[in-house]
């Protein structure tokens, strides 16, 4: 009976070793998964929100459905983040290129371009300029924050604005400018200043 008992004991040890090996492999796999997740969710968890490319002194042209340039965005630096498909632009210059209306140029300290929402948010020393054209006086608008919806040709803000139109000037809080219709709606608490009329010279 001793040899049979020995065989049973040896068999049990082999089963125990196999079970321990299986448990070790299971824990090893679990540890590997945790390490991989730790790399994704640990110190570099937000790595996907890190810039995937940076471009200095760039110029980007947005085309219309008809294949014509609609507007141009340029700036000193563009930093793109892939998670939300946004780009931070330093010293942006936005120029409209429609043939139907005089071109407008908008500058600011910085801009956030959201390609998913087709929206540009200008921040800091926002300056909008439109040159004189037949039937239209030169225009300049200054504010601190401006949201541009390029496809709709709309620029809007709820911050104070100062606008000069020809020789007249306007101060208001809030504005919606529609470049397609050439209409500007101003918010409340506004003030309009007209230049004094020139007196006729006596004969």
Positive or negative, the Cα torsion across 164, 170, 176, 180?
A: negative
Q: Model confidence over 18-76: pLDDT tens digits?
A: 554 444 444 444 333 443 444 444 444 445 568 888 899 988 888 777 777 778 899 99
- 22, 31, 32, 35 from 26: Cα distances, Å: 6, 9, 10, 14
Using 50, 70 and 90 to split pLDDT, how confident is the model at 144? Answer: very high
CA angle 164, 169, 174 (to 5 degrees): 80
Tokens of 140: 């300049």
Please give the average per-residue pLDDT across 89-116, as a whole number.
87
Tokens in use for 29? Answer: 């796999």
**pLDDT at 202 exceeding the cut of 80:** no
CB proximity list for 195: less than 8 A, separation 6 or greater: 167, 168
Q: What are phi and psi of 4, to 5 degrees?
A: -65, -40
Beta-carbon neighbour count of residue 175 at 10 Å?
A: 23
Band the pLDDT of 185: cuts 50, 70, 90: confident
β-pairing verdict for 119-130 and 168-178: unpaired
At CA 121, angle to CA 167 and CA 142, rounded to 5? 15
Residue of higher predicted confidence among 92 and 22: 92
Burial 83-115 (b: 16+ CB within 10 A, else e): eeebbbbeebbbbbebeeebbbebbbebbebee
- The model's pTM is 0.68
Residues 6+ apart with CB under 8 A from 143: 126, 157, 159, 160, 161, 162, 175
Highest mean pLDDT: which of 37-46, 90-99, 183-192? 90-99
* Cα–Cα distance, 109 to 56 (Å, whole number): 15
């Amino acid at each position: 009976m001793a040899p049979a008992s020995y065989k049973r004991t040896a068999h049990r040890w082999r089963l125990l070793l196999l079970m321990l090996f299986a448990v070790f492999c299971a824990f090893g796999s679990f540890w590997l998964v945790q390490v991989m997740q730790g790399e994704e969710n640990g110190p570099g968890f937000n790595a996907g929100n890190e810039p995937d490319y940076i471009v200095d002194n760039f110029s980007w042209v947005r085309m219309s459905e008809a294949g014509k340039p609609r507007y141009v965005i340029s700036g000193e630096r563009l930093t793109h983040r892939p998670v939300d498909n946004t780009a931070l632009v330093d010293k942006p210059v936005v120029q409209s290129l429609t043939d139907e209306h005089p071109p407008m140029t908008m500058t600011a300290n910085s801009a956030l371009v959201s390609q998913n929402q087709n929206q540009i948010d200008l921040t800091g020393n926002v300056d909008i300029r439109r040159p004189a054209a037949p039937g239209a006086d030169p225009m300049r608008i200054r504010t601190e924050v401006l949201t541009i919806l390029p496809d709709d040709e709309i620029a809007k803000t709820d911050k104070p604005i100062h606008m000069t139109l020809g020789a007249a000037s306007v101060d208001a809080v809030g504005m919606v400018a529609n470049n397609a219709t050439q209409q500007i709606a101003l918010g409340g608490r506004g003030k309009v200043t007209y230049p004094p009329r020139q007196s006729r010279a006596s004969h």
